[in-house]
Homo-oligomer: A and B are copies of this chain.
Amino acid sequence: MSKKIKKIAVLTSGGDSPGMNAAIRAVVRTCSYHNIQCIGVYRGYEGLIDGDFEELNARSVKGIINKGGTFLKSARSNRFRTPEGRKQAYEKIKEIEADGLVVIGGDGSFTGAMIFNQEFGFPVMGIPGTIDNDIFGTSHTLGFDTALNTVVDAIDKIRDTASSHNRLFFIEVMGRDVGHIALNAGIAGGAEEILIPEEDLGLDRLVESLNRSKKSGKTSSIVIVAEGDKIGKNIFELKEYVDDNMEGYDVRVSVLGHMQRGGAPSCFDRVLASRMGVKAVESLIGGQTNYMVGLLNGKMELTPIEKAIKGKTKINLELLRVSDIMST
């Protein structure tokens, strides 16, 4: 039987995403609600190794639900990839007598948590925080919804100038391995084509499709390109190819970059963060460990961290079809 939880540590790790602060707040306040102490760990696993701790109470986290980023800071930790690093981390966390650890991050961070749990039997619980929505076991990762709104807002602005000048724009959005941002933001931004890692449209068909758009009366076009697009050319090469193989368009490129990671979280992400924080802490209290909290069919569910890491999210094929129909 699991022993009673009296102190929980929380950290953010990997790339930051909007909603991480809201999730920390939820972890802290759920601890407070259950009369459990909560310890914030700065700089992810780096801070865990260094013992960079601070006790947090319900008032410590006021006014942060609407702030982007993570006030606990995040980092990638090479030391935590070594047995020595993890051992030191374990010693530090035992020193403060914590009984559980909530890790807010992506799959790299979860791998670390899982190994930490395997090596020392220390109870861990994951909250999926990344804008890429590439974690198995949850329909939405924290920050995905906010990033979509940020991207769509940028596309709207670019369309203003595109349609004033009859231009074709290639817009690069985040997503090295998955096309969730590209696909959703592309539909919402009214893109003519969406290039994603999961599907190779091919250069010829791209040009063909753009020509068809043009003939149908469109005077400007937007193509959304995920970083990891399957065609395999970078966005500037794409522009060159289209410049060389299509007439009548002034082709431009825009790389949205890191602004996609920031900003005040959307209502959806704040509510999701709050629910996930509650679920994570109460699952630890209930004696569960080595799980990730996720949103499945509208409900909070647990998925073994190992499955969350190894599972693959799939692109929604219906959305691909909707995109095709909408660019009629």
> Bound complex: CA of A186 vs CA of B325, how far in Å?
37
Q: Are B268 and A145 in contact (CB under 8 A)?
A: yes
Tell me which residues across on chain B come within 8 A of A274, comparing CB atoms.
Answer: 187-188, 322, 326
> Could you give, for residues 220-262 of chain A, a 1 whenever the CB lies within 8 Å of some chain B CB and a 0 otherwise?
0000000000000000000000000000000011111111111
> Number of contacting residues on A, CB 8 A?
86
| Chain A interface residues (CB < 8 Å from chain B) | 12, 15-16, 18, 20, 25-26, 29-30, 32-33, 58-59, 62-63, 65-70, 73-75, 139, 145, 148-152, 154, 156-166, 169, 184-185, 187-190, 216-218, 252-264, 266-268, 270-271, 274-275, 278, 297-300, 316, 318-319, 321-322, 325-326, 328
User: Which residues from chain B contact A169 at a C-beta distance below 8 Å?
Assistant: 258
Q: Are B65 and A190 touching (Cβ within 8 A)?
A: yes
Asked whether, in the complex, the Cβ of A252 is within 8 Å of the Cβ of B258, the reply is: yes
Main SS at interface, chain A = helix
Partner of A74 from the list B29, B65, B158, B165 (CB cut-off 8 Å) is: B165
CB proximity of A55 to chain B, nearest CB, Å: 15
23 contacts between A and B (CB under 8 A): A12-B164, A20-B164, A29-B326, A58-B328, A63-B159, A65-B189, A66-B152, A68-B161, A74-B165, A75-B165, A157-B258, A157-B259, A157-B260, A157-B262, A159-B262, A184-B267, A188-B270, A252-B258, A254-B258, A254-B259, A266-B266, A271-B319, A298-B316
CB contact between A157 and one of B33, B148, B164, B263 (< 8 Å): that residue: B263
* Cβ-defined partner of A165 (8 Å) among B73, B253, B298, B326: B73
Contacts of A318 in B (CB 8 A): 275, 299-300
Asked if A166 contacts B267 (CB within 8 A), the reply is no
A252: B residues at CB distance < 8 A: 258
Closest to A72 in B: B164
Partner of A30, one of B158, B166, B325: B325
- Complex CA gap A256/B163 in Å reads 19
List of B residues within 8 angstroms of A63 by Cβ: 159, 163
Q: What residues on B are CB-neighbors of A187 within 8 Å? A: 270-271, 274
Smallest CB-CB separation from A266: which chain B residue? B149
Specify which of A264, A270, A299, A326 lies most central, judged by the most chain B CB atoms within 10 Å of its CB: A326
Report the minimum CB–CB distance from A10 to chain B (whole Å).
15
- Pick from B59, B217, B267: contact of A149, CB below 8 A: B267
Query: Closest Cβ of chain B: how far from A255's Cβ, in Å?
Result: 6
Picked from B32, B69, B162, the residue with its CB within 8 Å of the CB of A161 is: B69
Distance to closest chain B CB from A35 (angstroms): 10
Known: A16-B165, A157-B263. 8 other contacts (CB 8 A): A16-B164, A29-B326, A33-B325, A67-B160, A68-B157, A148-B267, A157-B259, A157-B261
Chain B hits for A69, CB < 8 A: 160-161, 163-164
In the docked arrangement, what's the CA distance between A33 and B263, Å?
30
